[in-house]
Structure 1
């Protein structure tokens, strides 16, 4: 566990002790299924819908909502970067913008599939989102510049992995 994640968790416990300690049995169960447990708790614990959840499906919906928001944030960041980009980085960012529109659509499709109790469909849509996210990342490989969105895309991948891990237990 990295120091920043530990600090955030301690702060969450300090600010919301009863909500986190009393309402987290299901959240803790769900997050035990994930690779990025602390990120899972950081995502779910402050959310009112997650706090009142009575099933894993609700927690997955919340997790996917935040995953979608992260993808939208990345797309907005890419659009900002394109405005000031020059040289070889601009076409790579344009490609990423196209891919992230698809990533957002695929995450939204996964959310819709869950709404229809189509777990298999949700898994498929999320795999498609990963494929498009990876296509963006591939554009930066072998270039003389680093991806300006790599930290954000790493977090998105972790958030999506957490959602997929919980979905596997519905």
Structure 2
């Protein structure tokens, strides 16, 4: 792409982000509730189910499903890191994190069931418990002579959860 074409695209994207990126007012509305709007759009725009959604509840379910998938991906990443780690302390920390992340995934699955039942109080409770377990994993690395190799992934997961919670909080 030549520089002028790039400039025109950026200007169009700035002026008409909804029409270019998501092409659905519902996705734009839902992402408008979130703090991490760009991440929200990156989550929904390539998802055909999100584009086809006709109500906020459907987008909330899709958002929670993406969150659950990301949590499972983080757990898989933790296991890979643990299996390749040379340092025993790091292996132990990653093993503890994997245990916490199994719980995170379980709590998010339970939140999905509660969301399907329109039990929003339970959804909030399950998601809070998922947050606690995610934070416990982060705490495993505090005060250690090594940095968490999954900190970027856990930050993204936290942002996805924040977005999902923001959308869910706007359900009737």
Q: Distance in 2 between matches of 1:56 and 1:21?
A: 15
Report the CA distance between 1:22 and its aligned residue. Answer: 3.0
Q: Distance in 1 between matches of 2:122 and 2:44?
A: 23
Structure 2: runs of 5+ lacking an equivalent: 1-9
TM-score of the aligned structures, taking structure 2 as reference length: 0.85
Residue matched to 2:71? 71
Q: Distance in 2 between matches of 1:157 and 1:64?
A: 12
Report the CA distance between 1:84 and its aligned residue. Answer: 2.0
Aligned with 2:118: secondary structure?
coil
Residue matched to 2:124? 123
Residue matched to 2:140? 139
Residue matched to 1:98? 99
Residue matched to 2:3? none
Residue matched to 1:43? 43
Structure 1 stretches of at least 4 aligned residues deviating more than 6 Å after TM superposition: none
Residue matched to 1:34? 34
Computing the radius of gyration from Cα coordinates, the structure with the larger value is: 2
TM-score of the aligned structures, taking structure 1 as reference length: 0.86
Aligned length: 155
Q: 1:53 to 1:19 in 2, by over 3 A?
A: farther
Structure 1: runs of 5+ lacking an equivalent: 1-9
Q: Distance in 2 between matches of 1:110 and 1:39?
A: 21
- 8 A contact 1:106–1:125 mirrored in 2: yes
Aligned with 1:88: secondary structure?
helix
Q: Distance in 2 between matches of 1:21 and 1:117?
A: 27
Residue matched to 1:80? 80
Report the CA distance between 1:128 and its aligned residue. Answer: 0.4
Residue matched to 1:57? 57
CA offsets, 1:37-93, max 9 Å, x none?
000011011111111111111111111111111111110011111112222111111
CA offsets, 1:119-140, max 9 Å, x none?
1111110000000000000010
Report the CA distance between 1:18 and its aligned residue. Answer: 6.4
- 8 A contact 2:22–2:45 mirrored in 1: no
Q: Distance in 2 between matches of 1:168 and 1:66?
A: 17
Q: Distance in 2 between matches of 1:110 and 1:71?
A: 13
